[in-house]
Amino acid sequence: MCATCGCSDNATLTDHTHTHDHAHDHVVPLEQRVLARNDEVAARNRTWFTEHGVLAVNLMSSPGSGKTTLLTRTITRLRDRLPVSVVEGDQETDVDADRIRATGRPVVQVNTGTGCHLDATMVDSAVRTLAPVDRSVVFVENVGNLVCPALFDLGESARVVIMSVTEGADKPLKYPHMFRTADLVVLNKIDLLPYVDFDPTAFAAHLARVLPDPNVIPVSATRGDGMADWIQWIEQRIH
Amino acid sequence: MHELSLTQAVVDAVVDRLGDTPVTRVTLEIGPLSGVVVDSVRFCFDLVAEGTPVAGAELVVVQPPGRAACRDCGREFEVDDPILLCPGCDGANVAIRSGDELRIRSVEVRRTCVQPADAPTTPH
């Protein structure tokens, strides 16, 4: 270190060859996770949910998998059994929030604009507005996208990936990050199986390649098949 | 395109730590199993840095190799594909050892050394 100016040049008082009032590049180690701030807020959210016995379910899927229909039918089935509130994430519009509002349950719409996913801060803010009661369920309907939401911890209690039989059975292989983090995969629209080219055996094999021992509930949200299993899965997680 | 918000998080974190100090280089670690496309981060970086002390900084991306271990047969192996399958037993019950990094390793900042008023006179 330069004893005169204190800079990191390798100079001493007797061997002082640099002039003062000069600039140096200093390396500052940060060693910080890029998502550190998101993960801190997520951890706070998780603590709050746990302390209040709130089950926060992060629902993720591609657009058109039937998330909102599954959600409205779920709310109807949980009526008189569990208090439910909803955080609705979309890039634009509050069409989906209107569908939830029609069920009579509280909902906060989060429009992400150019963003393609919800993050922990958005959920924190939405949940403060919702102020869910203790021992209730908060469904967080993420932006329809199988890529970006995979990376963002919201502080949720469980991550549920919804996929429909009108999509390719190889989707788990195409979006491994998303399926790998799923606590549950809901396979929706099974009433359409006779009409589409979807191979459930191939789907199970593809899923097992990214998620060992996966938990799958096949449902038809519109016809009601499998809904009892899905409702049971939710109720078992309320303590 | 989550790389836009990730790159924003990088610039925010750097500015949080260093304030107005001009940054000349940012070094990130992005592993092949992180789910992040390095080219997209590069694409977003100048855009996000504009108007901040990070503007004009060089972006260096270090890509650590992906390594995983099979929980079933114990084999350790290198992997850079997000579908993690054990080459020994073809099982998917695999733990990532490295390659999922998404970190800011360091930054370089330019600081001007100014001779203190009471500095001793040096032979020169």
Q: What pLDDT, in 10s, does the model give residues B1-29?
A: 689 999 999 999 999 999 999 999 999 99
The 3-state DSSP class for residue B60 equals strand
Q: What integer pLDDT is reported at residue A12 of this predicted model?
A: 43
pLDDT (tens digit per residue) in B41-87? 999 999 999 999 999 999 999 999 999 999 999 999 999 988 999 99
Helix (H) / strand (E) element for A230: namely helix A227-236
Q: Kindly state the tokens that stand for A65.
A: 């998998």
- CB pair distance less than 8 Å for B83 and A209: yes
Question: A31: distance to nearest CA of chain B, Å?
Answer: 5
Average pLDDT over residues A90-95: 82
Distance CA B123, CA B115 (A): 15
What pLDDT does A168 receive? 94
Q: CA torsion angle for A73, A74, A77, A78 (degrees, to 10)? A: -150
Burial of A195 (0-12, 13-18, 19+ CB in 10 A): exposed
The pLDDT confidence band at residue B40, using thresholds 50, 70 and 90, is very high
Looking at residue B48, its amino acid is V
Report the C-alpha gap between A135 and A229 in whole angstroms: 20
CB contact under 8 A, A28 and B13: no
Q: Is the ipTM of this complex over 0.85?
A: no
What pLDDT digit, counting tens, does each position of A129-176 carry?
A: 999 999 999 999 999 999 989 999 999 999 999 999 999 999 999 999
Q: Give the model confidence (pLDDT) of A101-111 as tens digits.
A: 999 999 999 98
Give per-residue pLDDT as tens, A197-215. 999 999 999 999 999 889 9
C-alpha triplet A71, A231, A78: angle, nearest 5°: 65
Residue A19 near residue A11, CB atoms below 8 Å: no
B5, B10, B79, B101: best to mutate for the A interface, most A CBs within 10 A: B5
Q: A34-43: per-residue pLDDT in tens?
A: 999 999 999 9
Interface of A with B in 45-104 (CB under 8 A): none
Q: Which long-range contacts (CB under 8 A, 24 or more apart) does A220-224 make?
A: A220/A188, A220/A189, A220/A190, A220/A191, A220/A192, A221/A66, A221/A69, A221/A70, A221/A73, A221/A74, A221/A188, A221/A189, A222/A66, A222/A69, A222/A73, A222/A189, A222/A191, A223/A191, A224/A73
Task: Give pLDDT, residue A17.
Answer: 56
Beta bridge partners of B102: B30
Q: What is the pTM of this model?
A: 0.85
Tell which A residues from 189 to 228 touch B, by Cβ distance under 8 Å. Answer: 208-213
